[in-house]
Amino acid sequence: MYKDRSYVRANNARQSARRRALLAATDVETFDPVEIFARDNWTCHLCDQPVDRAAKVPDHQAPTLDHLTPLAHGGPHTRANVRCAHFICNSVRQDKPLSCANN
């Protein structure tokens, strides 16, 4: 129906403007993840087990920041919206029951 791609280009431009607007509206704090891990006593908020401070992603026991309200759902990147979580717990966290292989 469209003789050229101008419609598609215009639509893409609109969508990318919307993405920029969403990001601009999102609160972003600058902080060191270690600050959050220490605040949360190096404990995973999803399974209540300690994380391994020395472990690095993709180690399942590595500490990661979990956004309570996901960024994809408009959640802010702020201290109040993040918790310490195991990499594995964070990875499997959706609406499913959690299983944490911590032993």
Instruction: Say if CB 63 and CB 55 are below 8 A apart.
Output: yes
Interface contacts to Zn ion, rule CB under 5 A = 44, 46-47, 86, 89, 100
Instruction: Say if CB 90 and CB 64 are below 8 A apart.
Output: yes
* Minimum CB distance to Zn ion, residue 67 (Å): 15
Q: Which is nearer to Zn ion, 19 or 53 (CB)?
A: 53
* Minimum CB distance to Zn ion, residue 57 (Å): 13
Q: Which is nearer to Zn ion, 47 or 55 (CB)?
A: 47
Handedness of CA 17, 18, 20, 25 (dihedral sign): positive
